[in-house]
A = this chain, B = another copy of it.
Amino acid sequence: MILKGEGVGDSKYAIGIDVGATNLKLGIVGASGDVIAHKLVPLGEKKSPGEIVSLIAGQSKELAGRSPKGPIAAGCGIPGIVDFESGIIIQSPNLPQWRDVPARDEIAKALGLPTIVDNDANIYALGEQRMGAGRGHNNLVLLTLGTGIGGGLILDGDIFHGDVGFAGEVGHIVVERDGVPCGCGGRGCLERYAASHGFATHASRLSKKERERLLAEAGVDIEGLSAQLVARLAGQGNGIAGRLWKEFGLYLGVGIATLINILGVTTFVIGGGIAKSWDLFIGPARDEIARHTYARNCEALTLVPAALGDNAGVIGAALEAISVN
């Protein structure tokens, strides 16, 4: 069976799976990174490990039939803390039933294929490095800006997992030792300043008068200040909303500067919903990076939005599965 598509000449294919909080994405991907076929399936109420694994198995079998050659492996990204070595999902804030779940072995059994599971930001990072905004860069940090900040590290060409699979928890870079409390139990974590929570943080530091003016115009209380809402207000010329985005950018810059100083890595790819508001935060972020890093690193900086959109996870998961099988 021969399908049209650049990837039909690939020697190996894998199934890439990207489990989100609301949708399941799957694809057949060739070793060159080409997506031969893909599907998006809403999870609906099916959020338990058993239900999602069944869904993955059914959808994968259908997709596998469209692969030029039988897939050699499957890779699966999951939002949460994943122990890569053991293949266990330790916890997932958005899928609370996934706690200490041996997902790798369960998916492998259901598909009858060698399987890897990894943190979703890790596979996005690999996707972007191989096929997206980070192409040609051997070292790369991917940040996803959303409710929190996800992170994936590509070091010397591969995903770096650290000792216990927790590498890339960049949302918990401490930017203010006695700063705003974080859900993790600490204080001053980056994601309290440069993710959706950041707007409440920055608004709380406005003068009372300015804060009240902003909230009246927004029509929400302080916790209701979403990135989308503050972006809309800033787009309408609201200067206070613009200043919140500036603060957001400055803190993001501090976090990136710390990453540059620790890793000496100069390629950063920014994804997640908030990356759509690029022009509202990237200038202040660049200024702050320049203030905190060596000129030579700063000159080498590649700071770009993610390019693959919805396919990053499917591509990255499949390519990781091919590379270890």
Contact = CB atoms under 8 A, between A and B. Distances in A.
A263 B294 contact: no
Interface residues of A, number: 52
A262 B169 contact: yes
This chain's copy number in the assembly:
2
B166 A264 contact: yes
Contacts of A161: 264
Interface stretch (A65-73, A213-221, A225-233, A250-258): A250-258
Task: Choose among A138, A174, A259 the residue with the greatest number of B CB atoms under 10 Å from its CB.
Answer: A174
Contacts of A169: 261-262, 264, 294
B264 A186 contact: no
B266 A163 contact: yes
A160 B185 CA distance: 31
Given A174-B254, A175-B177, A264 B167 contact: yes
A168 interface: yes
Given A166-B297, A172-B292, A177-B251, A263 B160 contact: yes
A176 B173 contact: no
B292 A174 contact: yes
Given A90-B296, A160-B155, A296-B164, A262 B264 contact: no
